[in-house]
Amino acid sequence: MTDACVIEVRARTAGIVVREGDSYCFFAAHRDFHALERQSFDSLLAAQAAATRCAAGDSSEIRIAPRPELRPA
């Protein structure tokens, strides 16, 4: 399986996703995709779909949840 992958939307680099266990973490390459920064996705296709929605300006479906290790104790 792939450990890292570039996500592109409309020939523009949105970011990269890096495998972390059973999920993929998104790192934005452009501020237009910052809403996805460090978000966890179950698959590469889920990350691609979120980036596509983000590029379309539809952030209503993008879930922003803190990563467990970043939550205050």
List, for residues 3-60, the tens digit of each pLDDT value.
999 999 988 999 999 999 999 999 999 999 999 999 999 999 999 999 999 988 865 4
Rounded to whole angstroms, what are the CA distances from 1 to 18, 37, 41, 43? 11, 22, 15, 11
pTM: 0.74
Q: Residue 7 and residue 19: Cα distance in Å, rounded?
A: 13
Are 61 and 16 within 8 A, CB to CB? no
- Give the pLDDT confidence score for residue 57 in this predicted structure: 80
Model confidence at 64: pLDDT above 70:
no
